[in-house]
Every structure is written in C-alpha cells, then in structure tokens.
Amino acid sequence: MADLDPNCLFCKIIKGEVPSYTVFENDDVKAFLDISQITRGHVLMIPKKHLVNFFDYTQADAARYLQYIPVIAQAIKRSNPEIKGMNISSNNGEVASQAVMHSHIHFIPRYSKWGDAIKVKSLSNADQYSEQDYQEIAKEIRGSFK
C-alpha cells in the first residue's frame, strides 16, 4: 500500500500485520477499538494514508478523511443506549500527548456526567489575559492564514 510507513504501528494495523478490533473500514479510513478502552466503546479512527497529525493535512486530506467523524460517532452512540455523550479528540504532537505518530481521532463514549473513568476538566486561564492580549493573539493567528 502506498503512502504507508513500514515502521508505524497504525500503518501495520492498516496492512493487517497487527490485529485490531475493526468497527468500520473503507478505502479512506479504518476505525477500531482502542486497546486502552478508557470507556466501553472507545474507538480510534485513522486515515489510510500516513499523516503524522493535523499539521500534515491538506484541505483535500481533511475533506477525504474527516468526513467520517459523524458516521463513526453516530454508530457508536447507536450501539449502546446508555451512551449520553462523547469526547471526540485528537492529540497533535508529542507535547500534546500524541503517543502514536499517525494521525488518529479518539471517540470516547460518556455514560454519565461524573461516573466515567475519565473526567474532562474545563481549564480556564482567562484571568491571566487582558483585552489587549486577546486582540494580539487573534491578530497573530489571523495573520498566519494562507
């Protein structure tokens, strides 16, 4: 298969060299159970092209691969009436806790607000930023679009 890294764990899963519990697969993506199962039904979706993380994506890559996010999320939710919500996330880069350097999206079902194995904490540092700080940060980001 073209566009795969022979040393990448997820590329090996795509090629069938490493087993996985596949829940969805087509020519573009593969979705399978995360072996950690943070909560029951925790799924990873990966593109069938070796992209390290979202910094490697083109707009065409995003259109091709990310269109399956709602398809997979809705199927997971339908699979269990106890699922009340879902964390959908991606860690981009080692500093952001990306463990496997192949782009992947986590779908972590939530069964209750507080009773799951994970607690998603809302962090706020708003008290450390002034109106001028916000304006400056927004200007920096606006200026970086191509």
104 is catalytic: yes
Distances (CA, A) of 112 to 11, 39, 46, 84, 98: 34, 11, 27, 6, 26
Catalytic residue among 42, 50, 102, 104: 104
8 A C-beta contact, residue 28 and residue 47: yes
Active site residues: 104
